Every structure is written in structure tokens, then in C-alpha cells.
Structure 1
Amino acid sequence: MNYPHTDRPTPSEHSQQSLGDRLRERRESLGLSLNQVAEKLRLRQQLIEQLEAGQLDLLGAPVYVRGYLSSYLKLLGMPMMLVEQSIGSTVSSHEVVPPVLSAPVVRRTRFGLERLVRRTGHVFLTAAIVVPVIWLASYGQLPSRKAEITPLEVAVPAADVDASVTSLAAAATSAPNSPSTIPYRAESFPVMASLTPTLSSPVTELIDDGAPESADGFSAPELVLNVIDDSWVELRDTAGDVVDMGVFRAGSQHRYEIQPGFRLALGNASGVEVRLNGNVLDVTPYQRANVARFTLREDGIDKPAGG
């Protein structure tokens, strides 16, 4: 809204009055109150009061001061050149040039270092997870396979076999009728049979001639193992001592003079035929995953061996 330009002050008066005083006098001459001006300009009344008081430094940045003054001068019908004069003389004296800070550079450097450390940590963490997985996938089961194969590859040295055969022959010669002596057949040493075949016949004849008999004249029960497939065999006496143990090869036969209470364990029960006094024993009821454990009596199987 434009109002007629009346009662304008002279140029000398302009130079003596501040912009705020001129704004207030112009508003009062037009009969406008602060509240009416604030409503017309859609500004807070406090801003109008600060403009008329010359407190332009409290109004914010120069761009806002220029906008407030332009609107107020246009409303009062005053020349716009007063805006630039006021901004140049008043606001510029209060402007503070912000110092140049190097903080952003330091901050970018710090962020770059943190990003590098984070990426390096991710690489090491990934390597720590992937490398063990690859190693386990490639080599993790080799020890268990070796553990399964190791018992089947046990070999008896030839020197130990010769010493065992010699000691057995000497024992049979010195005490052929001792009830506590448990004679061994030559076939109970499958490795010896392949390494020293010339010893089989003499030892067999020696054992046959010196087979002990019980006190009442009856011979002890005879256990015969006919090996069809390779099998791990363990035979223990009544005291728990090992009578014979090892991997018996397919096609071999093993004979023992036993006493009731001997315990027999077969690693491949389906691959061994068990005969006691000429009768075939059924070991099927005592098998667990093709492993059979049982106790022998004079005429058959007593019960499964404990442990």
C-alpha cells in the first residue's frame, strides 16, 4: 500500500537523523502503529522496533536486514537507496570475518585413517574365519583316517617271530605235561608263516607231541578259528592276560587249547568261523556292528565278555 509523500524532511534534516528515527517519524506521520506495520509486513513487532531503534546488528545476516528494510521502506513510501546506505554504514561495521580453520582438514585426515583401519580389520577378520575353514575342509579328517588304518598295518618283525617260535619250542620240550602251559599252533602266527615257512612243520610236530591233558585224563577243549576274511582277533585267558592278539589274514587257521572262562573278541565276526571241539559256534547273538565279544566254556559260549 502506497501513501502520499507529505511532510518530507529537508536534506539537512536527513543527514542529522538516523534511519531508525526517520522510519519512526514516517510511520507516525502516516498514522500507523507498530502492531499495524507488523501485520502488514507479516513480521514480529520486535523486529519493527529493532529497525526503528537502529539495532540492525541484532537482525541476523545482511541479507535478512536488507529484506526487512526494503519491505518497511516500500510500505512507508521511502526511497530504496536508504537500504544500501544503511547496510554499508551500520551492518558492515558489525560483520566479523570467520577465521579460516584447519579443523576440516584434520577431520578428513582422521576419518580417512579410521576408514583405512576399519577396512584392514575387516580383511584380517575375514582371513581369520576363512583360512581355518579351508584348512579343516582339506586336512581336518586325515588324522582320523590314519587312526583307523594304523591297527590294520601292524607288522611283527621277523626277529621277534623267530624268538617267539624258539621260546615256545623250548618250553614245550622242557615241560610237555605241565597243565598250566598253553601250547600254540604254528598257524597262530600268520606273519611267521609267510616269512619263515620252514619252521611250520617242526613246531607243529612238537606241539602235537606235547599236548597237555587234564588231571582226569581228558584233553582240554580245543578252539579252532578258520579265518575267511581279514579280522582283528583278541583271545584272553581267565586272568585277563592276552593269549593271542592281532590281525588274522584270510585263509589262515588258528588252534588253541583253552580252559573255560577264556574270552574271545572278533573285529570282523562274519569273517571268522569259530569251532570248539569240532562244533561250529554261532556268534551272531553276540555281534554289535560286526564286532563279537563273548566268554567260552567247555562246551560252547557262556556269555558276552564284559568290556
Structure 2
Amino acid sequence: MTNLDSMDMQQLQGCGDYLRSMREKAGLSQQDAATRLKTPLRILQALEAEQWQQLGAPVFVRGQLRSYARLLGADISEYLHQAHLEVVRPAELVSHSYTSGLDRFLESFKRRAVYVVLTAVLVIPVWMGARSQLGSADTQTTASLDVVPATASAEVATGPAPASQPPARRAPATPYVASMVPISRADAPALSFHFNGDSWVQISAPDGSRVEQALMKAGDERNYAKGEVGNVVLGNATAVEVQQAGSTVDTTPYQRGSVARFTVSSDGSLAPISN
């Protein structure tokens, strides 16, 4: 504690004796009082012995004294008032910095100028490169290979120019670029099953061997190549979407009740299983 704190704490002389007398009057031992306060016995002993230096800062001493006095029904406000421990005033925060409106405007202007410069450095080269590519692309013309240029058609209709006549100067022809980009298409599986609900399936190969037999869950999917499937049995057939080479197949002709049975020929066509 500082010297000022020590002088203030000296004004609490007699407070410990007063609390001790109030405790004895209440018929409590120090251990009983410490148990009720839920505080260590040494803290209570230091309060009654007025050994303030063992209790730490004055704010801690004030809190312990008030709790002890509240337990005993004692009034120690006079002691606290004399020791100037009644009120703890918070520290005042004083700002020593000041920013004028002009400084704030200049700072904002600097930040915006940096943003403009960075935008110009990054965007303009990209824009120039894209413009050059678009310009070069505009010089080409896409045409069908079946279209004959007008100059060639005129030569066919009128015949070639006489040898004595000097050839007429022609404007440079614009190059024609034929569009021959192939369309890519992924090959769909020969037979696929999409399960929208639980369904029991039994799939056999053309030679009769078992390919799959299981209970499928909603969201499952099975795909088979051409020639891999011979016979198919689907339980809860209405919950199964069958596709053949990417096209949905109506399994109603193959259903009896909720079970669909059909065979798959070598060419991929479906037929009901003969009983």
C-alpha cells in the first residue's frame, strides 16, 4: 500500500475490537463466523487483529469488513467514513489526442486515391488484353462449307476473263473459318436402376449366375453394361425407375402386384419372364 493508504487504514483502529466484541456477543467462535462467511479463518483473524497489511488493497479490506459486519448485524459505517474508504472513485480517462476535420478529410482522400491507383493497375491491363483478343476474333468469319463465295459464283456464270483483258483487282478476301466442333456425348449405361424407395432386387446374368441380390434403399443407383444382365426381379417396382440406354422404361407390363419380372435380351430389349 502507498503512504496515503497506510494513513487511511490507521483510521480503522478499533474496528477489529468492535467486530470481535459483536461476534462474542452473538455467541460465535472465529471458526463459526469464518464458516458462515465462507472465508478462510486467517482472513477473519487478521480483520479482528487489524492486521490490514496481510489483507491486500484497501478495496479488499473494505469488502471483508462489510461482509463481517453484515453477518454480525454491526454498523461500521463510521469507521469506513473516517478512513475515507466509503467510495472508490473510478479513474478518469482523459483523451490527449485530437484530430481536426481537415486531417480526417486528407486521410480519407489518401485511402481513396490508393484504391483508385490499385484498380487502374489491375483492371486496365486485363481490359486491354481482352480487347485485343476480341479485335482479332472479329477479323474472322464463320461460314458453312456448303456456301460458295460470290466471286467464285460470278466466275462460274460468266466464265473466265479473256487473256487480253487484265485481271481486275480484287479486294482481299475475308478468310472463312468452318465450324466443325464435334458434340461430345457420354455413353449412357445399357441398363440402370434409380431407387426412390426401399426395394428388394434380384439380378441374374444371361448364364443364370447371380449378379446382385439385396435390399436397396432410397437414393441407391445401379448401372450395368450391355450383356451383363439376363433376368431382373424388382420388389416394390413402383419405387424403382428403370432406364435403358438413358431412356426411362415403363415396367407396368412386367408387374404382377408390386413385383416386376422381366428379361433382357442380347440386343438390350426387355420382355416379361415367361412362367
Q: Structures share a fold, TM > 0.5?
A: no
Identify the structure with the greater helix proportion: 1
Provide the TM-score with structure 1 as the length reference: 0.27
**Greater C-alpha radius of gyration:** 1
Provide the TM-score with structure 2 as the length reference: 0.30
